[in-house]
Amino acid sequence: MNKHLLVEMWIVLLGLIFICGCPISIQTGIDTYDIDQSRGFMSKDYPKSMQDTWTALLTVAKSKEFKLEITNQQFGAQKSSLDAIQPAILFVYARQNVRIELVAKSDKVTTVKAKYGDPSKENPLLKVLFGSEAEAWEKDFHGNLMDTLGIPRSTEFEVPPMVVPSFKL
């Protein structure tokens, strides 16, 4: 095999690696999101009690960023829920129904499940071009909830440094 062909193969291989992207770091435990495809909820565990999480949830729901119109809320020691309407925010979010459920895993860990609208009704073309509106809202909501609870945002979206194999020509 001549050296020129070998160099071209390496260039193509490296190009494919960069085009396909680097692997995203794997997270475990409290720093990850879990997406329930069947019900459309994005859930996350928080190292806080049900009462602390519920108080923070109400603060985020009434914040300037979300301004949720709460239609129903139920607080319980083991399970809580909130139904609301997200008013339309120009160029950011459409008017949608929101459902948030809290489940106490223990007295110090609470799972928060958030659902924005009906993901199956999203425009597939816009979803491909710009990503899921529901997923963006849910991540934004969870991020604001983490800030309110005083939990540092996770580093799950950091891309680890890429190791490039060395070779000699």
Distance of CA 94 to the CA centre of its chain: 18
Give pLDDT tens digits for 92-103.
Answer: 666 788 999 999
Residue type, 70: I
Give 163's strand partners. Answer: none
Residue type, 111: T
104 has a pLDDT exceeding 90: yes
Q: Is there a contact between 69 and 87 (Cβ–Cβ < 8 Å)?
A: yes
The CATH code that applies to domain 28-149 is: 3.30.310.80
Give pLDDT tens digits for 4-14.
Answer: 777 777 777 66
Burial class (CB in 10 A: 0-12, 13-18, 19+), 115: buried
Task: Please provide the DSSP assignment of 100-163 as one string.
Answer: EEEEESSSS-EEEEEEES-GGGS-HHHHHHH--HHHHHHHHHHHHHHHHHTPPPP-TTPPPPPP
First-to-last alpha carbon distance for the chain, in angstroms, is 12
Q: Where in the chain is the domain with CATH 3.30.310.80?
A: 28-149
Give pLDDT tens digits for 43-89.
Answer: 889 999 999 999 999 999 999 888 899 999 999 999 999 999 988 77
CA distance 141 to 108: 21
Please tell me the predicted confidence (pLDDT) of residue 34: 65
